[in-house]
Amino acid sequence: MGGVSTERSAALFDRARRVSPGGVNSPVRAFKAVGGTPRFMEQGEGAWLTDVDGNRYVDFVGSWGPMLLGHAHPAVIDAVQQAVSRGTSFGTPAEPEVRLAEAIVDRTSAEEVRLVSSGTEATMSALRLARGFTGRDRVVKFAGCYHGHVDALLAEAGSGIVTLGIPGTPGVPAHVTADTIVLPYNDVAAVEAAFAEYGQDIACIITEAAPGNMGLVPPLPGFNAALSRIAHEHGALLISDEVMTGFRAARSGHWELDGKVEGWAPDLVTFGKVMGGGFPAAAFGGRREIMEQLAPAGPVYQAGTLSGNPVATTAGLTTLELATPELYENLLATSHEVRRLVSDALTAAGVTHQIQAAGTMFSVMWGVEDAVTDFAGAQRQDTAAFAAFFTSMLDQGVYLPPSAFETWFVSAAHDEEALSTLAAALPTAAAAAA
């Protein structure tokens, strides 16, 4: 797509910058790590996005994870249109939220769930509940894990924080993070040592089930199980953040690939993205005994005007209903094929890289010789190589996450045409990265 016009996107970006900080409503969208004009999208259909200048792209961002079925899936659109025509919000209990909660409980380790509107709300509330349940304040998190923009959890977080090189953020008082212990990911000895020193005061460990916000850094075999064991030895809880991996890495989430097989479950778990089907819906859930501490059943307060919104829960429920075991088998095959195409092209161009995966999710680690197991390793990436690759792919009609620290997402709609567009673009982009 040489000579792509971005005139309208550029004009909208100018207008946006006058009325919104940085011209965006979420930082990574501004393309700061890769340069160039952020594309203002107008339409999505299956694996494709079309921008306001009429350029088409094969989409490997999938709205940062939610679009498991591809854009504008007819069944989701139909269900949403019917739900909208019955009213957009009641602020009362309604059947779709019960059905969505049942679908989540049915396929995950959670015995009960509370629906909220964003992943940030889910992790923030799970943290409060863990502290309320244990009567303790300290929390263990891992460098490079992103749990939304929760004050206490932004220290050494991944996603936009690492993309922009912000060490935590101004506006979070020191006393708010004073109880946050940040440890290196995949380091069981560091967790043991922290518990040996502070075990009595630690409410919980929170971890991404498989981190996807420092690039994809899968847990080493047994790491999540060790977290569960260590937490329980000290009367603390394990919160598994499956906002990104839930209903995405595998049908129930990453837990399907470790805890379910190994016979353990997190005490609390958070979900978002896929379960909202492209609408603002998220959840936290877990063991009944803990969840029953939540208001109005128990004393730990949590609430939301739009929580369990009938349109959002209908979109999420329809998505989960269509997400059959066969769909995940196909998604995994597509994911493998994309990884193979990318890796072969990079190898052919002499670009050093690693492809790292958890279930259907994966990312490319640029310029590293060995598997990356923690945040320090992920930060050694050659981000300039990625930026050159990204820009070339974008010019050729392939839309990638605009940061080397983000996961690629495929959808059930990524077909032969989508993959051949990718394959055709790869040699030029790989040469640009070399």
Quick one: tokens of 132? 């309320």
Q: Does residue 401 interact with ligand PLP by CB under 6 A?
A: no
Handedness of CA 80, 30, 28, 39 (dihedral sign): positive
**Residue 141 annotated among the catalytic residues of the structure:** no
* Catalytic hit among 57, 146, 328, 399: 146
Contacts of 59 (CB under 8 A, 6+ apart): 44, 47, 48, 49, 67, 71, 399, 411
Could you tell me which stretch among 165-173, 220-228, 240-248, 258-266 binds ligand PLP (CB under 6 A)? 240-248
How are beta strands 398-399 and 112-116 bridged, if at all? unpaired
CB of 299 to ligand PLP, least distance (A): 25
CB of 248 to ligand PLP, least distance (A): 10
Q: Does residue 119 interact with ligand PLP by CB under 6 A?
A: yes
Q: Does residue 385 interact with ligand PLP by CB under 6 A?
A: no
How are beta strands 268-271 and 237-242 bridged, if at all? parallel
What does the DSSP 8-state code read for residue 236? -
Contacts of 175 (CB under 8 A, 6+ apart): none
**Residue 260 annotated among the catalytic residues of the structure:** no
Q: Does residue 272 interact with ligand PLP by CB under 6 A?
A: yes
Contact string 176-215 vs ligand PLP (x = CB under 6 A): --------------------------------x----x--
Complex with ligand PLP: residue 280 or 397, whichever CB lies closer: 280
Could you tell me which stretch among 46-54, 98-106, 142-150, 308-316 binds ligand PLP (CB under 6 A)? 142-150
**Residue 241 annotated among the catalytic residues of the structure:** yes
CB atoms within 10 A of CB 370: 8
Position with the least CB separation from ligand PLP: 119
Residue 129 to residues 234, 254, 396: CA-CA distances in angstroms? Answer: 17, 22, 47
Contact string 48-87 vs ligand PLP (x = CB under 6 A): ----------------x-----------------------
CB atoms within 10 A of CB 92: 7
CB of 333 to ligand PLP, least distance (A): 24
Q: What is the DSSP string of 268-284?
A: EEEE-GGGGTTSS-EEE
The C-alpha atoms of residue 104 and residue 90 are separated, in whole angstroms, by 22
* Catalytic hit among 51, 53, 241, 374: 241
Q: Can you give the binding site for ligand PLP, defined by CB under 6 A?
A: 64, 118-120, 123, 146-148, 159, 208, 213, 241, 243-244, 272, 282
Residues carrying an active site annotation: 146, 241, 273
